[in-house]
Amino acid sequence: MSSTRDLSRQRPTAAPDASDKWDASASGLLRKPPQDLEAEQAVLGTLMSSTWGAQYVPETLETGIVAEEYYRPAHQMIHRAVIGLRQADEPVDPLTVAAELARRGELAKVGGAPYLHSCVQAVPTPANGPRYAEIVRAKAYRRTAIESAQRILQYAYSEEGDELDVRSLVEQELTAIVVGTPGLHTAPPTVGDLYLDFVAELEEIQDGRQMGLTYGLSDLDTITSGMRPGNVTVIAAQSGVGKSTLALNAAVAAAKTGAKVMFSSLEMSSTELMQKIAAAEGKITLHHLTRKGGLDSDQWDTVARLGRELFRSLPLRVYRPDGAALHDIESAARACVRDGGLDILVLDYLQLVEVEQSRNITREQAVAAVSRGLKNLSTQLECHVIALSQLNDDGMMRESRAIKNDASVVIKVERPDMDEPESSRAGEVDIVIEKNRFGPRATLTAAAQLHYSRFVDMAQT
C-alpha cells in the first residue's frame, strides 16, 4: 500500500492564487504558516475521482473537513463546488466540477480545468482520502492556534486595557482553540444525564427483553448475553477444528433474526461459503455438494427450497476482497452501512489481514494494528465484529496479547476427538470462553456436526 508520503512523487502545478503569504512571528522572523498543499490536492483528487470518488468520498467527508481548512483559496473554491454538486445529488468528477466552477465564475481562479485533472492524478491511494483530510485539518488547526497566539501577543504588546482584559482575551482565544480541536466536540454527558437511559435499559435486560444478537448456540448466548454493538468477539482455534464453521453459523443465525451481516473471508471463496450454508441449513452432507453427481433429486429440491425461503431474503453479504488490506475491509463495511446498515462484521481470519508496514514494525505489531482497527471500526459503525484467529500447534493464540486486549469475548474452540478418533467424546466440541466482559468464564459443550458444516446445542442431538 502506498503511504501518504507518496504524495511527494507527483507535484502538479499549483493553482495561481495569492495565499502564499509569509507570517511574522514574535521573534521577527518570517515563517510560512503550516500547510501541506500536496495533501490538499490529494483530498480534492479523491473527492473528484470518477473511479473512486463514490466509494471514498463519504469516508473522507466524515473527517469533518470543510472548505475553510484548506490553505489555498483555490482549493477552498474547489471543495465548495464539490460539496455543492453533492448536495444537489449531481455526479462529481473533474468535468462537472469545472462546469460548476465556471458557473460560479471561479474556474480561472483555480487554474482552469487542467488543474482539476492534475489533482486527480496526484492521488497515490484513494483509500487514504480520510488520512489526507486529517493532515489538512491538522495543518489548519495549527494555523488557527498561531493566529490566536498572535492576537494575544499583539494585544499584550499594545498595553491596552488592564490585566483583566488581557486574561479575558487569553481565555477566549484558548477556549476557541480547544473547541476547534479536530475530533473534539461538546463535553461528555455526566452520569446524571445517563441515569434515566441506564434504568430503562436495565429494566429491559432484567425482563429479558434486551439481548444481544444470537451466536446460534443458546448456552453461549446465555453466558455472553449475545453479540452487542461496539464489541469484538475473537474465535480462536487450530486449523481444521471448525472456527470458520462456528463463525458462519453465528452469522447465519443472526441474519435469520433480521440482523445485517457481512462475512469477509480471506480463505474461502464465495462458492465455498454458499456450500457450507446450504449444507448446514439443508442438512445436506457437505461432500455431496462438492463432488460431481453428489446430489440426488431430493437434495436438489432442498437447494431450490433454500433459494426461495432463505437465500433470497437473508441479509447476509459475502465479501471476498481482491487483496487482504484492512482498509479494503473497512471500506466494504462502510459501504454496507450506507446500503441498509451493518450489525455484524465477520473476518476470517485476523493473521491474514495486511496493514501498511514500515521496515521496523514486527508481525505482532502488525496484527495488533489490525485488531485495534477492527475494534475502532466496531465502535464507529456501532456493529459487532467477530474476528477469527489461528492458534499455534501448542494451543496458543498467535500475537495473543493485543488481540485479547481489544476483544470483549474470547472463545477458544477445541475438539477432544481431533487426536483421539476413538474418544468417548467423539462428535463433541468444547467452546472455552477465556474472556467475557459480560459474564463468567466457562466451558460449554456443543455437538460438532461437521459433515453438515455446523455446530448445534447438545439438546438438539
My answer on whether 321 and 413 are in the same domain is yes
Residue 354 per-residue DSSP state: B
Which grid cell is 229?
454493538
pLDDT in tens, the chain (461 residues): 444 444 433 444 445 554 444 444 444 446 788 999 999 999 999 898 865 545 667 778 878 888 999 999 999 999 999 988 888 878 888 999 999 999 999 999 999 999 999 999 888 887 788 889 989 988 988 888 888 888 888 888 887 877 777 777 777 777 666 665 555 555 667 778 888 888 887 887 777 665 789 999 988 988 988 899 999 999 988 888 888 999 999 999 999 999 999 999 888 888 888 899 989 988 988 888 888 888 888 989 988 998 888 998 999 999 887 767 787 788 788 888 888 889 999 998 777 877 655 456 677 777 777 888 888 889 888 899 999 988 765 555 555 677 788 888 999 998 887 777 777 888 888 899 989 988 889 999 988 888 898 898 887 76
My answer on whether 164 and 20 are in the same domain is yes
Q: How many CB atoms lie within 10 A of CB 170?
A: 16
Which CATH number do you get for residue 37?
A: 1.10.860.10
pLDDT at 333: 86
My answer on whether 300 and 359 are in the same domain is yes
Q: Is residue 197 part of a domain?
A: no
Element (H, E) at 445: strand 442-449
Last residue of a domain, one of 179, 205, 235: 179
Last residue of a domain, one of 156, 179, 202: 179
The alpha carbon dihedral of 401, 407, 409, 412 has a sign of negative
My answer on whether 318 and 435 are in the same domain is yes
Q: Is residue 113 part of a domain?
A: yes
My answer on whether 92 and 175 are in the same domain is yes
Last residue of a domain, one of 121, 154, 179: 179
Q: Is residue 58 part of a domain?
A: yes
* Reported pTM: 0.62
Sheet with strand 454-457: strands edge to edge: 316-319, 261-265, 344-348, 384-390, 232-237, 409-414, 428-436, 442-449, 454-457
My answer on whether 237 and 165 are in the same domain is no
My answer on whether 146 and 229 are in the same domain is no
Q: Is residue 25 part of a domain?
A: yes
My answer on whether 258 and 168 are in the same domain is no
- Whole-angstrom distance, CA of residue 370 vs CA of residue 358: 14
Q: Is residue 187 part of a domain?
A: no
Residue-range definition of the domain harbouring residue 251: 218-460
**Contact present, 221 and 215 (Cβ < 8 Å):** yes
Per-residue pLDDT tens digits for 135-150:
998 898 888 888 888 8
Q: Is residue 145 part of a domain?
A: yes
**Contact present, 354 and 323 (Cβ < 8 Å):** yes
41-73 as b/e: b if 16+ CB within 10 A: bbbbbbbbbeebbebbbbbbbebebeeebbbbb
Residue 132: helix, strand or coil by DSSP?
Answer: helix
pLDDT at 25: 44
My answer on whether 293 and 404 are in the same domain is yes
Per-residue pLDDT tens digits for 38-74:
999 999 998 988 655 456 677 788 788 889 999 999 9
Spatial CA neighbour of 391 closest among 368, 371, 411, 369:
411
Spatial CA neighbour of 93 closest among 67, 63, 127, 116:
116
238-268 as b/e: b if 16+ CB within 10 A: beebbbbbbbbbbbbbbbbeebbbbbbbbeb
pLDDT at 2: 42
Spatial CA neighbour of 316 closest among 341, 289, 280, 352:
341
- Whole-angstrom distance, CA of residue 48 vs CA of residue 12: 15
Q: Is residue 213 part of a domain?
A: no
Q: How many domains does the chain have?
A: 2
pLDDT at 179: 60
Q: Is residue 207 part of a domain?
A: no
Which CATH number do you get for residue 273?
A: 3.40.50.300
My answer on whether 326 and 448 are in the same domain is yes
Write the secondary structure of 173-235 as one string of H (helix), E (strand) and C (coil). HHHHHHHCCCCCCCCCCCHHHHHHHHHHHHHHHHCCCCCCECCCCHHHHHHHCCECCCCEEEE
Which grid cell is 379?
465502535
My answer on whether 352 and 444 are in the same domain is yes
pLDDT at 250: 94
My answer on whether 283 and 398 are in the same domain is yes
Which grid cell is 171?
481565555
pLDDT at 260: 93
- List C-alpha distances in Å: 460 to 4, 188, 224, 297: 54, 47, 20, 27
